[in-house]
Amino acid sequence: MMRLNRYIARCGVASRRDSDSLITAGRVAVNGIVCQKLGTTVAPGIDVVTVDGEMIELPRLLYYKCYKPRGMVTTLDDPQKRSSLADLLKERGIPKGVAPAGRLDADSEGLLVLTNDGDLLQRLTHPGGEVEKVYRVLIDRWPMESDLERLRAGVRCGDFTARALRVTRMGPQPQDNEHPQTGYWVEMAMGEGHKREIREMMGAIKYRVLRLVRTAHGPIRTDTLKPGEIVELEDWEIRSLLGD
């Protein structure tokens, strides 16, 4: 069962607050009967809901994973007209209403979970949810164990303290044509997130981040995804995200 105002909002007709106004104004009917009672619940797929005489239905829920390339901003509306996720979604034919669960800054790359499932988006991005996200971080010098301990214990970054759930060394990166900068990789697992958190943490302990790649968000991983690639999640991935 679902509250009627939430159902109307999920159908994309109006916000929950505006949906309440539609209900009290007598513009909503359930199974042919005008409903003006707030708090009414409906059974999606069973009850027929109309607004101003037009039947509304929940959209099909869509779930994707995307490898955001470096240099692209994670926004669906960029007034500066930079290379953006919106451009990529349009280019790949992804339906409107699909949005990313969180962001990566323009200098970072890697995994974004995309969906039009509003409940899942809220759960994945809620500050208190602490859905684990995993990153590979290329830094400019060998990471001292004492510094890794500081990352695990918590580092003060401006007005907040950030800590890694896990952090381990991965080794050096050999220089190549695609990634000419050499350095040392560490893998960091983070819970509650802040903007540019890992860069702030590394800067606080005097390391420079050369590359930052998100490789996992909860149970979803980049695996063999290439920059700019978007694929639909498999059934087992969706179930694992939803906790089924």
Give the tokens for residue 193: 């997130």
Catalytic residue positions, numbered: 105
Distances (CA, A) of 208 to 138, 141, 198: 9, 8, 11
The residue ranges of DSSP E strands in 52-203, in sequence order, are 54-56, 63-68, 99-100, 109-115, 133-139, 155-157, 160-162, 166-173, 183-190
Give the tokens for residue 190: 């983070």
Give 239's contacts (C-beta < 8 A, 6+ positions apart).
none
Cα distance between residue 101 and residue 114, in whole Å: 6
Whether residue 20 contacts residue 14, with contact meaning beta carbons closer than 8 Å, is answered with no
Cα distance between residue 225 and residue 130, in whole Å: 24
